Amino acid sequence: MDATAVSRADIAASAPVKVVARGVDVYYGDKHALKDVSVAIPERSIMAFIGPSGCGKSTFLRCLNRMNDTISICRVTGSIVIDGADIYDTAVDPVELRSRVGMVFQKANPFPKSIFENVAYGPRIHALAATKADLDAIVESSLRKASLWDEVKDRLHDSGTGLSGGQQQRLCIARTIAINPSIILMDEPCSALDPIATARIEELMEELKQNYTIIIVTHSMQQAARVSQRTAFFHLGTLVEEGDTTSMFTNPREQKTQDYITGRFG
Amino acid sequence: MTEPVARTLRMLPPKPTGFSGADVQQRLSQRRRADARFRAYGLAAIALAILSLFLILADVTGKALPAFTQSTLRLDVPVTSEHVDASAPKAGDYEATVRNALRGLFPEVQSRADRKALDSLLSTGAADALRHRVVADPALIGQIIASKALLSSDADLYVKGVSAKVSTAAGVGAAKPSATSGAVTLDLAPDALAGVLATDLAATTTAAAAPVTLDTTTPSLLLALNGGIVKITSLASGKAEGEILVPLTTADAAAAGAWRHILIATPETSRKINDRQIAFLELLADKSAIERHFNFAFFGRGDSREPELAGILGGLMGTAYTMLVTLGLCLPVGVAAAIYLEEFAPRNRLTDLIEVNINNLAAVPSIVFGLLGLAVFLNVFGLPRSSPLVGGLVLALLVMPTIIIASRAALKAVPPSIREAAVGIGATRQQAIFHHVLPVAMPGIMTGAIIGMAHALGETAPLLMIGMVAFIADVPGSPADAATVLPVQIFLWSDLPEAGFQSKTAAAILVLLAFLVVMNGLAIWLRKKFERRW
Amino acid sequence: MGAAYIIALLGLTAAAFYLGRARGAGLRTSGARAHSLPVYHGWYTGLAAAIPMLLVFTLWSPLAPRLIEHRVLSELPAALQPADDLARAAVLRDISNAAQGGALADQASPEVRQAAATFGNLTSASDWLRLAAGLGLGVFGLVWSLPQVSREFRARNHVERVVLLLLLASSAVAVLTTIGIVASLLFESLRFFAQYPWYKFLFGLQWSPQIAMREDQVGQSGAFGFIPILGGTMLITLIAMAVAAPVGLLSAIYMAEYATPRFRAIAKPLLEILAGVPTVVFGFFAALTVAPLVRAAGASIGLDVASESALAAGLVMGIMIIPFVSSLSDDVINAVPQFLRDGSYALGATKAETIKKVVLPAAFAGIVSAMMLAVSRAVGETMIVVMAAGLSGNLTFNPLDAVTTITVQIKTLLVGDQEFDSVKTLSAFALGLVLFFFTLSLNTIALKLVKKYREQYD
């Protein structure tokens, strides 16, 4: 049965579909890294990709904003449609796409510049602010949305690399929010953080869900269960199972999923 | 990787049968001694290398010191309308003016040979300072001007004690000359010059009692007494015969301590300055007319055939223009090439070829770049020979590989997460690199650039090929003028026979080394200051 | 005139940039976002104006003088027509000198003055025409590009493509340099071998490049036998390596294996300073200090030492190469993995035994390549030998004699006023070619070795 059809049927009642992937294959040189992945992702919700290391979940995530384009040996086939347009169409400018599909990385990677400059960079290159006041406003609102404002408002011109790990990751989220994307991709955003910082990021995701479609890759099944509405389980480059998070963790359709979430491998 | 360890096992000495016993102890102490010996060899090698460095520096510094001071003669020069016409002060014969002033100090000197010796104490540029003053203020014509005349290089070196070994001592006992000019016999105390006879002239003496004859191949002995100078030609105990070089004021006996003897150990034939000139210099020194100053002119003049007039400004300006051209070309092109190869180049055979090519180019002998410059820039493109423009071009090609390699290393050290972060929020790859990667890599790139420029600064051989070796007295005014650079100036001077140029060469080397120390210091400081750990 | 053109170019480019940027900024006021930032539109229009102007300049500038020269020469009376290239260059020099009012301009003949006038007129006409054509095309580029500025126009992509091309061109400079070196050396060498047989060059035992003015001159045979020079180069290199190889290697071993961090912190910069001393300074030291010392030392034990002995030049060159050998070997020794040393220590070996029997054999390939690079450096070194070695090609292996080297001969043959076509001058390029390929093969092999060595432990 077509996975897309299943998830579409699932989603239809709750929210409109934001992303539809159909038959996506990814090759790194000769290596077939992702095999025939099809999935639909609903708008304004959190979708989690789980699976053991090397299963292709991060690869798939990077297909959604064409980050894989920066790797010369990487080749993507199939179609990924966001808001009704195929993002691998030759007419699509990946740079423009990435301004709509922001990304937060596994390791916090603030620019070695001030906190303000970190957030202001995106709006600048996309000409989102006409005046300095506009820019200030965007920076403030982004930092507020990332619930970092209160902690850094007095030291906006200190280096972003001087913040703690959790703060750095929230700065990266603020930086992503500042370009006003509709989708935020998160590649294991909490893997380098302690539980308290992780909890803050999870809270933040819960809030951001109101306005953004969030897709998160995570190693932690607990995190997926806590934050996401839908979950996709990848294994060895294939999408094994995808569906409503609660039902997937309580009643998986596939044996492999069952084995993974009960800790038999992974 | 276990294989080399296995090999070690085979190579180790056979296992001893027991762990005690004299045999084992002896072997152990032998091995310890061998270990200490090996360590000492290593230390000695490093010590040798560092010692050579200090030897070179000490040698150069020692040779350079005389060049940093300059001797001038204080003269009261009457500027007369005979030599200088008030309507055209520039065309005046200032040389004659200064010469006459010097002759005025020795009115008794009349013979041609004596006058020539006296004149030769002055540099050919001795009147330059006077000319400047008079041209600037023609009202000085007709007045007597207190002036400082530059000594010739040979005189200067004698005054500094460089060109001849001279020892002076006050006379013992009284000395009575028989005449005030011409040939003279001196009555001396019996042991007046005993020390000189016994030690310094011992080699020239055949029998102890016989008088010692002095000529141009033996050390010279001059006596300064009664305001004149006697050159000793024959010396025995208590008696000396000689020739008066500068007439004495009286033929009275000079009391003990009121005269002195000057022994010049270097024979007259092996020095540039003769006894007559020395006599004049000694008397001028007695009058405190000779002064030594810091040699500012060395830094403010171009090259010259006369050592005392030669300066490094021409070489410095040539170096400045050359470095400007080099930096202006190789920094942007080198960094751009590094960015392309590190960030954009597809991994294919062409890129590999470019990389291998750059690595090999870095090891091509520098003289080959000179041949390239000669064949291509001069003969094909017809660019001006001897010009800093061509020199800069050649050096730019020479240091380009260094800068590319250093810049690539600096770019490689920037973590990929910075690029991903920028690309992840919709920056293009070029924006990511120019806005984020390049600024982070900049200190590393600048360090590489400075080291490359220091290399270019000391480079000589390729510049010889493109004609930057011509003698150029003028200080260049643009990169297209014929010029030389500091290292080539050093090479040119080191080749000249005049003794005065040896210290100039060494002094120019010190200036060059000072620049290199500053540049390398800057590079080290940059590296320390911007060292970043990820 | 060139300056005026460049000022016009910069001015028009700046104007085009500001126009384009202003138009790009204007897009914003009308609401929705434009594809590219205003600054990219500015760059786009600026480039559209600058590129045609640059093209005109680079095409016109080398071409126009040739046309003008041709035209000016054709106007000269038949009697003054130059017979060959050399005469042609001389006539042109006279004309250009007369046109610029140079030192001897007054003495020029009326025909030359006439030609000079034509030359001057044509040159200034050409300069004006070039400026007009450049500005015309530049303005055309601006007028063509400005209306393209619109919300959808992908100015950034166009500008980035040009930037990428510039980056690519920059990395091509290194390749062009190599091609330039090989081409110029080969070209001039072939001209040499056309006049002097290659086998006599490669295997000849006599080097005396002076060509006899008269038949009866002795020793002025114009013989270009390479062997004595090769022998001299090898002799000096050998002496240099005899100093640098043991001292450099032992220093590296001490630095890598024995030295405390504090010792390293002092000794390493000192060695770097030694490495940074310009070769002309070593040359000075060799010629004025070491050579007389060697001579005096020889004399004191009754040996007759040449004042430009191979020994003095070789010793100082050895000192110069010590830091080169030691820093390369230091890297190589440090790359030997620690577990090999630990294995040896665990068996009870002393430090010296571990170094000699484990570390050095493991680093052997790397050390060999370091030595090869050092040899290549010694062979190509110029200033020390120019200042301290001899000029005559003696075929000897006595280090106390004066010998000459490849680089000394290249310098001697090419420095000073020479006509470029003589066999003597061309022979320098043949020597350069040999030097280039010799060092190139040494480097290539050494780099290959070191790469292999690195891969072994990666």
Task: State which H helix or E strand residue B243 sits in.
Answer: strand B239-246
Strand B69-78 and strand B144-150: the pairing is antiparallel
C243-253 exposure pattern, b = at least 16 Cβ within 10 A, e = fewer: bbbbbbbbbbb
C317-344 pLDDT per residue, tens:
999 999 999 999 999 999 888 888 888 8
Question: Is the model more confident about C376 or about C417?
Answer: C376
Instruction: Flag whether pLDDT at B359 surpasses 70.
Output: yes
State how far residue B429 is from chain A, nearest Cα, in angstroms: 8
Instruction: Flag whether pLDDT at B325 surpasses 90.
Output: yes
Cβ separation B487–C278 shorter than 8 A: yes
Over residues C374-392, the mean pLDDT reads 91
Residue C324: what pLDDT? 94
In the numeric block, the tokens 């004659």 are attached to B96
Rounded distance between C-alpha atoms, residue A103 and residue A93, angstroms: 17
Instruction: Flag whether pLDDT at B134 surpasses 60.
Output: yes
Return phi, psi of residue A79, to 5°: -135, 140
- Please measure the distance between the N-terminal and C-terminal CA atoms of chain C and give it in whole angstroms: 59
Entry pTM:
0.86
Contact status of C268 with chain B (Cβ, < 8 Å): no
State how far residue C19 is from chain B, nearest Cα, in angstroms: 23
B270-323 pLDDT per residue, tens:
888 888 888 888 888 888 888 888 988 889 888 888 888 889 999 999 999 999
> CA-CA distances (angstroms) from residue C302 to C286, C298, C310, C314?
22, 6, 18, 21
Confidence band of B136 (pLDDT split at 50, 70, 90): confident
* Facing residue for A98 by CB, picked from B346, B418, B424: B424
* Facing residue for A109 by CB, picked from B346, B417, B440: B417
Question: Is the model more confident about B84 or about B403?
Answer: B403
Residue B200: what pLDDT? 62
Residue B2: what pLDDT? 43
What residues of A are in contact with residue C28 (Cβ under 8 Å)?
127, 130
C400-430 pLDDT per residue, tens:
888 899 999 999 888 865 566 678 888 899 9
Cβ separation B367–C444 shorter than 8 A: no
Q: Cα angle vertex B282, ends B276, B283, to 5°?
A: 95
Helix (H, G, I), strand (E, B) or coil at A138: helix
Over residues B227-254, the mean pLDDT reads 83
C189-221 pLDDT per residue, tens:
999 998 888 888 888 888 877 754 555 555 455
Tell me which long-range contacts C345-351 makes (C-beta under 8 A, separation of at least 24).
C347/B8, C347/B9, C347/B12, C348/B12, C349/B8, C349/B12, C350/B31, C350/B32, C350/B34, C350/B35, C351/B35, C351/B38, C351/B39, C351/C257, C351/C258
**8 Å CB contact between B282 and B199:** no
Q: Which residue in chain C has the smallest CA separation from A129?
A: C28
Residue B103: what pLDDT? 86
Neighbours of chain B (3+ CB pairs under 8 A): A, C
Residue C106: what pLDDT? 65
What residues of A are in contact with residue C34 (Cβ under 8 Å)?
127
Cβ separation C175–B513 shorter than 8 A: no
A78: left (phi over 0), alpha (psi -120 to 50) or beta: left
Cβ separation A127–C35 shorter than 8 A: no
What residues of A are in contact with residue C37 (Cβ under 8 Å)?
125, 127
Residue B257: what pLDDT? 79
Q: Which of A192, A199, A213 is nearest to A83 (CA)?
A: A213
Rounded distance between C-alpha atoms, residue B97 and residue C174, angstroms: 61
Residue A240: what pLDDT? 92
Q: What is the mean pLDDT of chain C?
A: 86
* Facing residue for B426 by CB, picked from A110, A112, A126: A126
* Facing residue for B421 by CB, picked from A95, A105, A125: A105
A132-146 exposure pattern, b = at least 16 Cβ within 10 A, e = fewer: eeebeebbbbbbebb
Residue B5: what pLDDT? 47
Chain mean position to CA C250: 32
Which residues lie closer than 8 Å to B380 by C-beta, 6 or more apart? none
Contact status of B350 with chain A (Cβ, < 8 Å): no
Contact status of A30 with chain C (Cβ, < 8 Å): no
What residues of C are in contact with residue A123 (Cβ under 8 Å)?
none
Instruction: Flag whether pLDDT at B1 surpasses 60.
Output: no
Question: How much is the ipTM here?
Answer: 0.87
Rounded distance between C-alpha atoms, residue B424 and residue A36, angstroms: 25
Which residues lie closer than 8 Å to A146 by C-beta, 6 or more apart? A170, A171, A173, A174, A177, A204
Return phi, psi of residue B178, to 5°: -90, -15
**8 Å CB contact between B368 and C380:** yes
Neighbours of chain C (3+ CB pairs under 8 A): A, B
The share of chain B scoring above pLDDT 90, in percent, equals 31
B380-404 pLDDT per residue, tens:
887 888 899 999 999 999 999 999 9
Task: Report DSSP letters for B369-436, one per residue.
Answer: HHHHIIIIIIIIS-PPTT-HHHHHHHHHHHHHHHHHHHHHHHHHTS-HHHHHHHHHTT--HHHIIIII
In the numeric block, the tokens 């190139």 are attached to C440
State how far residue A108 is from chain C, nearest Cα, in angstroms: 28
C249-288 pLDDT per residue, tens:
999 999 999 999 999 989 988 998 999 999 999 999 999 9
Residue A163: what pLDDT? 92
**8 Å CB contact between A142 and A122:** no
User: Cα dihedral angle (B372, B377, B381, B385), rounded to 10 degrees?
Assistant: -130
Cβ-in-10-Å burial (0-12, 13-18, 19+) of B486 comes to buried
Over residues C7-19, the mean pLDDT reads 93
Rounded distance between C-alpha atoms, residue A214 and residue A218, angstroms: 12
Question: Which of C191, C233, C316, C383 best tests the B interface by mutation, with the highest count of B CBs <10 A?
Answer: C383
Confidence band of B197 (pLDDT split at 50, 70, 90): low
Contact status of C273 with chain B (Cβ, < 8 Å): yes
C281-320 pLDDT per residue, tens:
999 999 999 999 999 999 998 888 888 889 999 999 999 9
Return phi, psi of residue C424, to 5°: -60, -50
Residue B85: what pLDDT? 80
Over residues C57-84, the mean pLDDT reads 80
Confidence band of B507 (pLDDT split at 50, 70, 90): very high
Evaluate the CA torsion angle A67, A69, A72, A74 in order and state its sign: positive
Residue B20: what pLDDT? 62
A236-261 exposure pattern, b = at least 16 Cβ within 10 A, e = fewer: ebebbbbbbbeebbeebeeebbeebb
In the numeric block, the tokens 């022979």 are attached to C427
Residue C258: what pLDDT? 92
The share of chain C scoring above pLDDT 90, in percent, equals 47
Q: Which of residues 111-140 of A touch C (CB under 8 A)?
A: 125-128, 130
Confidence band of B488 (pLDDT split at 50, 70, 90): very high
Low-confidence ranges of chain A (pLDDT < 50): 1-3, 12-13
**8 Å CB contact between C186 and B356:** no
Contact status of B88 with chain A (Cβ, < 8 Å): no
Return phi, psi of residue C221, to 5°: -90, -15
